[in-house]
Structure 1
């Protein structure tokens, strides 16, 4: 990964909604089932709109009816968990790359 790619990743992280992000299982009369990534943690209950604030949702991995957000392999929960985890992990990974590069550079001098 070159410097330009690393900087592009950091810019995307900076531009995204601040974390942490959480997986939410939500329902509503229109969508029936919604697996989403949210800026607020949920509980173990499926919430129907208007019991949740749509402004807290940053991504959806399943909207069941009509089926207009879906994945072919039915890994909605896993995809939502990955998206939520990546919000915190990617900035830490880019910082670690920078730290390791600096250590290598210092060692080469």
Structure 2
């Protein structure tokens, strides 16, 4: 990808291609954990996103760089003639060869010839019938592309694997953080439930008022219960005393 996605459809296709190895049952987006019951997880699985992509007509994008496809590319690269490859640009042809070395003007040596491009086949291609560019220039460009592919393809495969490993590591780290957040959320919910079961300050003061009033009365002190009830009213009203 050379530019960021510019639409929801492109973003979905890009996401599915990036995480092509994720199983359908894996969670792609977690909405809630332990709700409505402990252990419950809600959200969207990778299978859900792939189904949505198929409905949106982007199923092909989700498998464009699947693990199987990359393995096929790697197998083709491994089976090809060992490199490095070079190319020779002749007058009406271009050669691609392994360990190509120029030995003089218009001559070269090599370990093995890989391919030869000829200008005759170039002009037979309908796609070039209106070309003003000389056939030799196109052949040289094609030969250079083929020759460099011997090293470019393995390098690109290695970079894809490196990036996917980095993405997988980041996804694992995010999953760990999600689990930690879920754990703290559960603890927070438990504490809130415990606090909700406890009597409020106003309730404690009102419950204590009669007993404290009786004790104070024995010592000739009056109005303790009334004061506690006033404090309870203030606490209930949110006033500080």
The TM-score bracket by the shorter chain reads: 0.7 to 0.9
- Give the deviation of 1:61 after TM superposition: 1.6
**Equivalent in the alignment of 1:36:** 95
Where does structure 1 lack aligned partners over 5 or more consecutive residues? Answer: 28-32
- How far is the alpha carbon of 1:70 from its aligned partner? 3.1
Q: Which has the higher contact order (CA 8 A, sep 6+)?
A: 1
Q: 1:45 aligns with which of 105, 115, 137?
A: 105
The count of residues paired between Structure 1 and Structure 2 equals: 96
Corresponding residue SS for 1:24: strand
Instruction: Give me the whole-angstrom Cα distance separating, in 2, the residues matched to 1:88 and 1:107.
Output: 29
Displaced runs of 4 or more, over 4 A: none
> Which residue does the alignment assign to 2:203?
none
TM-score by length of 2: 0.36
Q: Does 1:4 align with 2:63?
A: no
Question: Distance between the aligned counterparts of 1:7 and 1:78, measured in 2?
Answer: 28
The structure 1 residue matched to 2:78, chosen from 14, 33, 37, is: 14
Q: Secondary structure at the match of 1:19?
A: coil
Q: Residue 70 of structure 1 aligns to a residue in which SS?
A: helix
- State which of 42, 54, 59 in structure 1 corresponds to 2:115: 59
2:158 is paired with a residue whose SS is helix
Report if aligned partners of 1:24, 1:42 keep a CA contact under 8 Å in 2: no
CA pair 52-19 structure 1, distance change in 2 beyond 3 A: closer
Task: Look up the match of 2:170.
Answer: 107
Equivalent residue of 2:89, what SS?
A: strand
2:87 alignment partner in structure 1: 23
For residues 145 and 98 of structure 2, the distance between their equivalents in structure 1, rounded to whole angstroms, comes to: 14
Q: Deviations over 1:3-26 (max 9, x none)?
A: 111001000000000111001235
SS of equivalent to 1:7: helix
* TM-score (normalised: structure 1): 0.75
| CA offsets 1:51-83 (integer angstroms, 9 cap, x no match) | 756x62101122x5xx3x436442100000000
Q: Distance in 2 between matches of 1:12 and 1:107?
A: 30
Which sits farther off after the overlay, 17-26 or 83-92?
17-26
CA RMSD after TM alignment? 2.3
Q: Does the alignment pair 1:92 with 2:155?
A: yes
Q: Is the 8 A contact 1:23 1:42 kept in 2?
A: no
